[in-house]
Amino acid sequence: MVALETFVYLAIGLAVMIIGHFIIDLLIPVDFPREIHEGNKAVGWVSAGIYAGLGFIIRSAIISFDISESQDLMSGAISTGMFAGIGVAALLIGYFVVDLVNRKFNFGVELKEKNEAAGIMIFGIFMGVAFIVSGVIQ
């Protein structure tokens, strides 16, 4: 049963991270694949923050769900998927709120200009938001 659970949660986690990355890429005004192909480390940091943050949120969702006689693997998988979706929304909210509040520069412009410091800052925002969401889940 543990092997089955591992593969089910791995599949959910990978799917959510890929879909979440795709959604965030659509909403942040930078073409992630092109920028990464061109060696834009700022966008690399942002991508790393998306995957790490979502992985942390998914981990918390998995360990917070107690599989008992009344709850099965399917319920746990659905719960994990829902929390992961909330995590994607939370990462986007964190990004846009900090970008809106910070009037000194624009994240989208800084990422296009390959400002690695901006990428690291966004990585930090994503991880901070992931820690908050993870704390709520647990």
Start-end of H helices in 32-72: 32-37, 41-64
Q: What is the pLDDT of residue 39?
A: 97
pLDDT at position 66, please?
A: 60
What percentage of residues in the chain have a pLDDT greater than 70? 95
pLDDT over 50 (residue 69): no
Q: Is the dihedral of CA 93, 96, 98, 100 positive or negative?
A: negative
pLDDT value at position 57?
Answer: 92
pLDDT in tens, 18-60: 999 999 999 999 999 999 999 999 999 999 999 999 999 999 8
Q: Cβ distance 53 to 87 under 8 Å?
A: yes
Amino acid identity for residue 126 in this structure: F
Is 121 buried (19+), middle (13-18) or exposed (0-12) by CB count in 10 A? buried
Q: What number of other Cβ atoms are within 10 A of residue 95's Cβ?
A: 21
Structural domain containing residue 55:
2-137
Domain count, the chain: 1
